[in-house]
A and B are shown apart, each in its own frame.
Chain A
Amino acid sequence: MLAYIFRRLIFAAATTVAISVIAFVIIQLPPGDFVDAYIASISATGGQVSLAEAEGLRIQFGLDRPMYLQYFAWITGVVQGDFGFSVEWRRPVSEVIGDRLWMTVIISVFAILLSWGLALPIGIYSAVRQYSIGDYVFTFVGFFGLAVPNFLLALIILYFSFVLFGANVGGLFSAEYQLEPWSWGKVWDLAKHLPLPGLILAIGGTAQLIRIMRANLLDELRKPYVVTARAKGMRESRVILKYPVRAALNPFASTIGYLFPFVVSGSIIISLVLSLPTVGPLLLRSLVAQDMQLAGTIVLMLGVLTVIGTFISDLVLMWVDPRLRAGLDG
Chain B
Amino acid sequence: MPPIPMGEPARPRREPILSVRNLETHFLLDEGVVRAVDGTSFDLFSKQTLGIVGESGCGKSVTARSILGIVESPGKVVGGEVMLRRDGAREMIDLAKLDPKGDRYRAIRGAEIALVFQEPMSSFSAYHTVGNQIIEAIRLHQPLTKKQARNKAIDLLHMVGVPKPDRRIDEYSFELSGGLRQRVMVAMALSSDPRILIADEPTTALDVTTQAQVLDLLRQLQDERDLAIILITHDMGVIAEMADDVVVMYLGKEVENGPVDDIFHNPKHPYTRSLLNSIPSILARPRSKLSTIEGSIPHPYARPPGCPFHPRCTVAIPGLCDSQTPRFLPMGDRQGVSCFLHHGPSGQSMPSGKDTGARHDAV
Seen from chain A, the residues whose Cβ lies within 8 Å of a Cβ on chain B are 223-225, 227-236, 242-243, 246-247, 250, 320-323, 326
The chain A residue with its CB closest to the CB of B121 is A224
Cross-chain contact B65 with A323 (CB below 8 angstroms): no
Interface set, chain B 86-136, CB cutoff 8 A to A: 101, 106-111, 114-115, 117-119, 122-129, 133, 136
- 8 A-B pairs closest in CB distance: A233-B110, A233-B109, A231-B115, A232-B110, A230-B70, A233-B106, A224-B122, A232-B137
* In contact, A233 and B111 (Cβ under 8 angstroms): yes
Q: How far is the CA of A276 from the CA of B39 in the complex (A)?
A: 68
Most buried by A among B68, B101, B123, B172: B123
A residues near B68, Cβ cutoff 8 Å? 230-231
B111: chain A residues within 8 A (beta carbon): 233
B27 contacts chain A at the CB level, 8 A cutoff? no
CB contact between A326 and one of B124, B133, B141, B174 (< 8 Å): that residue? B174
Which one, A223, A230, A243, A321, contacts B109 given CB within 8 A? Answer: A230
The answer to whether A250 and B127 have CB atoms under 8 Å apart is yes
- B114 CB contacts on chain A under 8 angstroms: 231
Within the assembled complex, what's the spacing in Å between the Cα atoms of A235 and B101? 8
Report yes or no: B119 in contact with A232, Cβ–Cβ below 8 A.
no
**Bound-state Cα–Cα, A250 to B136, Å:** 22
Contact A227 B172 (CB under 8 A): no
**Is the Cβ of B70 less than 8 Å from the Cβ of A243?**
no
Q: Choose one: B122, B128, B136; the contact of A232 (CB below 8 Å).
A: B136
Once A228-B115, A233-B107, A323-B174 are accepted as A-B contacts, the answer to whether A247 and B122 lie under 8 Å apart by CB is: no
Chain B: residues with Cβ within 8 Å of the partner, total of: 33
Please, which residues of chain B bring their CB within 8 A of the CB of A321? 127
In the assembled complex, the Cα of A231 lies from the Cα of B124 at a distance in Å of 12
CB-based contact B123/A233 at 8 Å: no
Asked if residues B141 and A233 are in contact (CB atoms below 8 Å), the reply is yes
Say how far B336's CB is from chain A's closest CB, in angstroms. Answer: 29
Does B175 count as interface, using CB distance less than 8 angstroms?
Answer: yes
In angstroms, Cα B70 to Cα A246, docked, is 21
- Tell me what chain B mostly uses at the interface: helix, strand, loop, or mixed: mixed
Q: Residue on B with the closest CB to A246? A: B127
Beyond the given pairs A228-B115, A232-B109, A236-B101, 18 more chain A to chain B contacts, judged by CB atoms under 8 angstroms and listed by A's residue number, are A224-B122, A227-B70, A227-B117, A228-B133, A228-B185, A230-B68, A231-B68, A232-B110, A232-B137, A232-B140, A233-B106, A233-B109, A242-B125, A243-B125, A243-B128, A247-B126, A250-B127, A322-B172
Chain A contact residues, majority secondary structure: helix
Q: Mark B158-187, 1 if CB is under 8 A from A, else 0.
A: 000000000000001011000000000100
Residues in B whose Cβ lies below 8 Å from that of A235 = 106
What's the Cα separation between A154 and B109 when bound, in Å? 53
Which B residues between 44 and 92 are near A, CB-CB below 8 angstroms?
A: 65, 68, 70
Q: Is the CB of A228 within 8 A of B117?
A: yes
11 pairs from A and B in contact (CB 8 Å cutoff): A224-B119, A224-B122, A230-B109, A232-B136, A233-B141, A234-B106, A235-B106, A236-B101, A243-B128, A247-B126, A247-B127
Q: A225, B125: Cβ atoms under 8 Å?
A: yes
Selected contact of A234 from candidates B117, B140, B174, CB within 8 Å: B140
- Complex CA gap A320/B128 in Å reads 10
A225 interface neighbour in B115, B124, B141, Cβ under 8 Å: B124
Q: Which residue of A lies closest to B111 (CB)?
A: A233
Q: Which residue of A lies closest to B65 (CB)?
A: A227
Please indicate the chain A residues that have their CB under 8 angstroms from the CB of B140 in the complex.
Answer: 232-234
Q: Give which listed residue, B70, B107, B122, B188, contacts A223 with CB less than 8 A.
A: B122
Question: Could you tell me if B118 and A224 are in contact, using CB atoms closer than 8 angstroms?
Answer: yes
List the B side residues contacting A247 at CB < 8 Å: 125-127
Which residue in chain A gives the minimum CB-CB distance to B68? A231
* Docked CA distance A225–B173 (Å): 11
How many whole Å from B129's CB to the nearest CB in chain A? 8
Query: Which of A224, A232, A242, A323 has the most C-beta atoms of chain B within 10 angstroms of its own C-beta?
Result: A232
* Pair A228/B126 contact, Cβ less than 8 Å: no
Min Cβ gap A132→B in Å is: 11
Interface centre among A223, A250, A322 (most CB of B within 10 A): A322
Residue from B114, B125, B140, B141 whose CB has the most chain A CB atoms within 10 Å: B125
Taking the nearest CB of chain A, how far is it from the CB of B122, in angstroms?
5
| Closest beta carbon of chain B to A181's beta carbon, Å | 47
Determine how close the nearest CB of chain A comes to the CB of B357; give it in whole angstroms.
33
CB contact under 8 A between A225 and B123, given known A231-B70, A326-B174:
yes
Q: Which of these, A234, A236, A246, A326, contacts B136 with CB under 8 Å?
A: A234
Kindly identify, within residues 30 to 52 of chain B, every residue whose CB is under 8 Å from any CB belonging to chain A. none
- Residues of chain A within 8 A of B185, CB atoms compared: 228
Task: Please tell me if the beta carbons of A326 and B172 are within 8 angstroms of each other in the complex.
Answer: yes
A229 to B123, CA, bound (A): 9
Q: In whole angstroms, how far apart are the Cα atoms of A282 and B122 in the complex?
A: 51
Closest chain B CB from A247 CB (angstroms): 6
Most chain-B CB neighbours within 10 Å: which of A223, A224, A233, A235? A233
Considering the complex, give the chain B residue whose CB is closest to the CB of A220.
B125
Distance of B186 from chain A, by nearest CB (Å): 12
In the bound complex, residues from chain B placing their C-beta under 8 Å from that of A236 are 101
Contacts of A232 in B (CB 8 A): 109-110, 136-137, 140, 188
